[in-house]
Homo-oligomer: A and B are copies of this chain.
Amino acid sequence: MTGQVRTVDGRVAGRRGQATRQKLLDCLSEMLSSSPYRDVKVIDVARRAGTSPATFYQYFPDVEGAVLELAEEMAKEGASLTEFVAGRSWVGRSGWQAAEELVDGFLAFWRKHDAILRVVDLGAAEGDKRFYKIRMKILNAVTNSLTDSVKELQAKNKVDKDVNPAAVAGALVAMLAAVASHQKGFQSWGVKQAELKPNLALLVHLGITGKKPTK
């Protein structure tokens, strides 16, 4: 599709160029993890990458542009979240297992990419369509899959008709995302990591099936 990586002024980036570009992205990612988004400056990223601000501007229009690039990378990896939902059974013992694995996978993914996800979340909440789309891309796979699960259960009369599958699925996914980005916050309520997971799985199971899980 897009194929070649291009600089801001239109040239195609070669081997060396792509390396510097990637190094800048890596350094930006580190900076995002260690300092507030608002304080991440082009000059700092460039310095850390052992290059100059001018070089940065050759590959990205601004900090936000580079962040979008990072986010796209992550979104690709996020496709793997689907495997925790697609084609799973939500009845009986396997339903509980599905819930547990979904929670596990979600929290792990979020923890791994927390810095960039914070920024994506902010951008999306501020109404920036580019960030919004990326957030969708990550969450859609899971949400749609869960939506289908609920619809199926509805068809079998195992879930009430007045439940809106998309609303429930979306809310559960939002819950997982929110809990994941504030994982530390739960410790101050006296909730430990290990305790959090089964309780989240319980909520997911309850939400999808309307019933308590059989463990």
Among candidates B121, B168, B196, residue contacting A199 with C-beta atoms closer than 8 Å: B168
How far is it, in angstroms, between the C-alpha of A174 and the C-alpha of B203 when the chains are bound? 12
Per the 8 Å Cβ criterion, residues 167-210 of A in contact with B are 167-168, 170-172, 174-175, 177-179, 181-182, 184-186, 188-191, 195-196, 198-200, 202-203, 206-207, 210
Asked whether B37 lies within 8 Å of A202 as measured between CB atoms, the reply is no
Asked whether A132 lies within 8 Å of B185 as measured between CB atoms, the reply is yes
A122 interfacial contact with B, CB 8 Å: yes
Q: Which of A18-26, A42-50, A86-94, A158-166 is near enough to bind chain B?
A: A158-166
How distant is A113 from chain B, measured CB to nearest CB, in Å?
Answer: 12
- Return the chain B residue nearest A132 by Cβ: B185
How far is it, in angstroms, between the C-alpha of A143 and the C-alpha of B181 when the chains are bound? 17
How far is it, in angstroms, between the C-alpha of A190 and the C-alpha of B160 when the chains are bound? 19
How far is it, in angstroms, between the C-alpha of A21 and the C-alpha of B37 when the chains are bound? 26
A9 interfacial contact with B, CB 8 Å: no
Set of chain B residues within 8 Å of A6, measured between Cβ atoms = none
A151 interfacial contact with B, CB 8 Å: no
Given contacts A136-B188, A212-B210, contact A122 B118 (CB under 8 A): yes
- Return the chain B residue nearest A167 by Cβ: B199
Asked whether B188 lies within 8 Å of A125 as measured between CB atoms, the reply is no
Given contacts A143-B189, A178-B177, A206-B207, contact A37 B126 (CB under 8 A): yes
Additional A-B contact list (6), CB under 8 Å, known A36-B126, A171-B196, A210-B212? A124-B182, A164-B195, A164-B199, A166-B186, A166-B191, A170-B179
Listed by A's residue number, 9 A-B pairs whose Cβ atoms lie within 8 Å are A118-B122, A125-B182, A132-B185, A162-B198, A167-B186, A167-B199, A170-B185, A171-B179, A175-B179
Binding site for B on A (CB under 8 A): 36-38, 63-64, 114, 118, 121-128, 132, 135-136, 143, 147, 160, 162-164, 166-168, 170-172, 174-175, 177-179, 181-182, 184-186, 188-191, 195-196, 198-200, 202-203, 206-207, 210, 212
